[in-house]
Structure 1
Amino acid sequence: MPQTLRPGEPAPALVRPGVLRSSIEVEPLTCTLGAEISGVSLADAARDDGLFAEIKSLLLRHKVLFLRDQDITRAEHVLFARRFGELEDHPVAGSDPDHPGLVRIYKELDSPAEHYENALHTDGTWRENPSMGAVLRCVESPPVGGDTIWVDMVEAYNRLPEHIRTQIEDLRARHSIEATFGAVLPEEKRHALKALFPDAEHPVVRTHPETGEKILFVNAFTTHFVNYHTPRNVRFGQDYAPGANLLLNYLISQASVPEYQVRFRWRKNSVAVWDNRSTQHYAVQDYWPAVRKMERAGIVGGRPV
């Protein structure tokens, strides 16, 4: 059973800090989220059980890890990510043909569509089993700009007003690929995408399966609550519409609070490893007409509870 933590209590490490290898240096970047680690190669961690366990321990504690100067091959990238679990394809972006599960996120100059980036989100919540996490490597970075922001959704939940936490404890919500990635597709293809990935339903507050932490689990893929219209919440029609939408928008907006965020500036061969269950992220689109090329291995997750 997962350990239940008090609000604000840090996640436990899988490996005691005293046994971490002396070569690994850890620099926390905020009080709750993000750490830059050095003195380690992910190519080595892909083949070394003990080293991988240390990195996973740090990931559970800091939720997102950053590494510089990781001059690794695509095969080593995939091999390391697979230590966490099986890799997943993306139905829109696709995968590298020689390395299944490795998605190329290349922002080129020849398409206006490439100038659009995204919103704050948790990867794949439109799936029944959203991503567990991801390993993202920078292949080519702009000279300036193109940072990525991550958000600590454990801290976002912990700092909600108590009456809001009570109100949302049993709520569930829909998450849609049709309303996001599918929105730019012709109607027939959009409907086919939804048929392949019907809207998923998840708890608004999920529990981390390894740390027991409570997580605010709504994001840009979330469209509506499915069990809000009850006597407990609705006295008049105004309570439901727009009342439910106002509450959902308030919850989604928590990811925009700077105190819950960490921002990372990319360089070639920088890598981010994040826990997708407890974070959101946002790729800042401020570098056009420069080019930004990233490669991501997403890891299959479990059903949120």
Structure 2
Amino acid sequence: MFKIIPNKKNIGAEIIVNLKDISNKDISKIKKALNKYGMLYFREQKLTSKLFIKFAKYFGNLANYPRLKGLNKKFPQITVVQRKSTDKGPSFGEQFHTDSIYTKKPPRFTMLLSKLVPKKGKANTEFCSQYLAYKELPNPIKKKFKNIKGKYSSEGPISVTTKERVKEKGKNIKELESSHKIIRKISTNYSIYCSPGHFVGFSSKIKNQEKFKKFLFKHQIKKKFQFSLPWEKNQLAIWDNRSMLHQATPFKGNRIMHRITIK
């Protein structure tokens, strides 16, 4: 069985399929759906780490996360994203962002596989379609940002949410910095590619920078562009970092997610 169920306004979609028994035809459909909806999720997927890696490789070469050590020596590409009930700070990723934009070649896709989750609806991940955000930008703003790049840092505002895990499993790295065009074309669609959680400035000198930054950030995360994904155990989500912002929602309790990023 293979079925696609789009969310409201096409902000992501659920796909019903057994990922343990998937065909090349199914993979082709999933890739097309990912381009269209920006984020997909699959419920009731009891995948081992080996099968998780196998599925991820259909979408490209796997990336190593620069800030945290991998699951183990056998599966270094899997990062454990964990929230503990004893954690005092914000949840890992608790601010709208796009993954690893502070690198020269950020990952195109991110996958999360839930291993331990609190009560459904208590630890959602919120997604924000940057296809829709771009479409609703005023034309003068589209023109203004067309050739402007944003500057990003691994020590940007969101870095405070990784401190608990970096203390436990962090790699000893220097600050990573990059710059990327704010408007991107993906297939036939345009998207805003800007990560509020990592942003440290514009690469070009423009008047009223603070004003435009505030406008852009406020516009990108409007409620009408959002979908809130409730997690269940053994649920997998994949999203395109070029067309979706995401953030963890605040919660108290224990949660374990296995994460893979794809070049």
- The normalised TM-score by structure 1 is 0.77
1:52 and 2:27 aligned: yes
Q: Which residue number corresponds to residue 30 of structure 1?
A: 8
Over aligned residue pairs, what C-alpha RMSD do you find?
2.2
SS at match of 1:75: helix
Aligned 8 A contact 1:178 1:193 in 2: no
Q: Which residue number corresponds to residue 224 of structure 1?
A: 201
- The one of 193, 198, 201 equivalent to 2:174 is 193
- Cα deviation, residue 25, structure 1: 1.5
1:271 and 2:236 aligned: yes
Counterparts of 2:37 and 2:261, CA distance in 1: 19
- Cα deviation, residue 191, structure 1: 10
Q: Deviations over 1:10-61 (max 9, x none)?
A: xxxxxxxxxxxxx2122111113111111x122223xx32221111111111
Rg larger for: 1
Counterparts of 2:115 and 2:29, CA distance in 1: 26
Counterparts of 2:130 and 2:79, CA distance in 1: 25
Q: Which residue number corresponds to residue 217 of structure 2?
A: 252
1:140 and 2:116 aligned: yes
Aligned 8 A contact 2:80 2:258 in 1: yes
Counterparts of 1:190 and 1:70, CA distance in 2: 30
User: Any unmatched runs of 5+ in structure 2?
Assistant: none
- Cα deviation, residue 285, structure 1: 1.4
Counterparts of 1:60 and 1:30, CA distance in 2: 16
Mapping for residues 160-239 of structure 1, pairs under 5 Å: 160-180=137-157, 192-194=173-175, 197=176, 199-208=177-186, 211-219=187-195, 220-229=197-206
1:112 and 2:88 aligned: yes
Q: Which residue number corresponds to residue 91 of structure 1?
A: 66
Structure 2 vs 1, CA of residues 266 and 128 (structure 1 numbering), >3 Å: closer, same or farther?
same
Q: Deviations over 1:87-123 (max 9, x none)?
A: 1122222211121211111111233246564210011
SS at match of 1:112: coil
Counterparts of 2:37 and 2:173, CA distance in 1: 39
1:282 and 2:250 aligned: no
- The normalised TM-score by structure 2 is 0.89
Structure 2 vs 1, CA of residues 227 and 258 (structure 1 numbering), >3 Å: closer, same or farther?
same
- Cα deviation, residue 283, structure 1: 0.9
Counterparts of 1:130 and 1:99, CA distance in 2: 20
Q: Which residue number corresponds to residue 42 of structure 2?
A: 67
Please state which structure has a larger fraction of its residues in strand: 2
- Cα deviation, residue 72, structure 1: 1.0
| Residue correspondences, number | 254
